[in-house]
A = this chain, B = another copy of it.
Amino acid sequence: MIDYQSILDEIYLEALNSSYKGEVASYIPELATIDVSNFGVYLKQLNGNSYSIGDWDKPFSIQSISKVLTLSKALQLIDCNIWDRVDVEPSGNPFNFLSLLEQENGIPRNPLINSGAIVVADILVSKLENPKEDFINYIRDLANDQTIDYNYKVAASEKEKGFKNYAIANLLKSYGNLKNPVEDVLDFYFHQCSIELNCEQITKVFYLFSNKGKCIQEIKRLTLSQVKRVNAIMLTCGFYDEAGEFAFTVGLPGKSGVGGGIVALLPNNFVIATWSPGLNEKGNSLIGMKALEQFTTKTGESIF
């Protein structure tokens, strides 16, 4: 029997003792002020057990982690029709790279880089009656938690500083791969990124990807085939140009955000979420990456 709590305790201790914890994302005032010493982990197993340590109950900005959730909603709404407008190949390049988009005539490399996520946001703006309202309700339902909400101040802040995303959206528009006005799509996009969740809530929201498409309330949300697709994309594309490194050292599908969160999962087994706001030079949580590497090494649990 694996003693999960002891493993989390060990990881926690080692994280506390790390002399360097990375740099907090500085481009948004709201993120820049977060204390870099925050660290939490939450593990939720499909057998009903849960383990946690540290700041697992403090909410933080999920940022790019939201891209998996919009993709999931879009799959639910229009399924395979997504793949005419976004590819599924790893980009091997930083998350805000416009060159690739130009080189490939406006078809984003995958739905987890900014350009791809903006196309997915465009799909939701087209298909949802009240996009922002409907989407936050989808997240609330997945987590079975009506308190979840956007952080409107963070969303406004990103909008004000989001020139690169405006560049991307306009470039997509120039290729005809954005159906709605740039403003509308980015308003939705900045809001999806601003959602605040704590580690426990994230494991609840991502539960369906480990549980063959059924959410924590055992309602079928995605087909098994759709879940496999999302997991495959997380594995190959979930960590910007560090996706290979993560697959290599952690061996689980997962997704990071510049708010310092990481979620990862083993199909049919568990979901785990970590939060440590200091980022490495690739934009992924430094301590979170290490924590997950230790977790899969110590437990021996990975897809490989």
Residues of chain A having any CB pair with chain B under 8 Å: 87-93, 97-100, 102-103, 109-110, 163-164, 166-171, 173-174, 182, 224-225, 227-229, 231-233, 235-237, 241-245, 247-248, 251, 253, 267, 297, 300, 302-304
Contacts A102-B98, A245-B89: A174 and B170 contacting too (C-beta < 8 A)? no
Q: State the CA gap A37–B229 with chains docked (Å).
A: 31
Closest partner residue, chain B, to A241 (CB atom)? B89
Closest partner residue, chain B, to A303 (CB atom)? B303
Contacts A228-B302, A236-B247, A253-B304: A90 and B88 contacting too (C-beta < 8 A)? no
Provide the residues of chain B in CB contact with A169, threshold 8 Å: 167
Report A119 CB to chain B, min CB distance, Å. 14
Contacts A92-B90, A244-B237: A232 and B251 contacting too (C-beta < 8 A)? yes
The 3 closest A-B pairs by CB, nearest first: A90-B90, A99-B99, A163-B174
Provide the residues of chain B in CB contact with A91, threshold 8 Å: 92
Report A49 CB to chain B, min CB distance, Å. 22
Contacts A167-B167, A170-B164, A171-B167: A232 and B253 contacting too (C-beta < 8 A)? no
Provide the residues of chain B in CB contact with A244, threshold 8 Å: 87-90, 110, 232-233, 236-237
Closest partner residue, chain B, to A247 (CB atom)? B232
Q: State the CA gap A89–B244 with chains docked (Å).
A: 4
Report A104 CB to chain B, min CB distance, Å. 10
Report A257 CB to chain B, min CB distance, Å. 20
Selected A-B contacts with CB under 8 Å, 29 pairs: A87-B244, A89-B243, A89-B245, A90-B92, A90-B244, A92-B100, A97-B102, A99-B102, A163-B170, A163-B171, A164-B170, A164-B171, A164-B174, A166-B170, A166-B182, A167-B170, A167-B171, A224-B300, A228-B248, A228-B251, A228-B302, A228-B304, A232-B248, A233-B244, A233-B247, A237-B244, A267-B304, A303-B303, A303-B304
Closest partner residue, chain B, to A97 (CB atom)? B102
* CB-based contact A243/B304 at 8 Å: no
* CB-based contact B304/A227 at 8 Å: yes
Q: State the CA gap A92–B89 with chains docked (Å).
A: 6
Q: State the CA gap A164–B160 with chains docked (Å).
A: 20
Closest partner residue, chain B, to A93 (CB atom)? B92
Q: State the CA gap A99–B171 with chains docked (Å).
A: 11
* CB-based contact B236/A88 at 8 Å: no
Closest partner residue, chain B, to A88 (CB atom)? B244
Q: State the CA gap A237–B31 with chains docked (Å).
A: 34
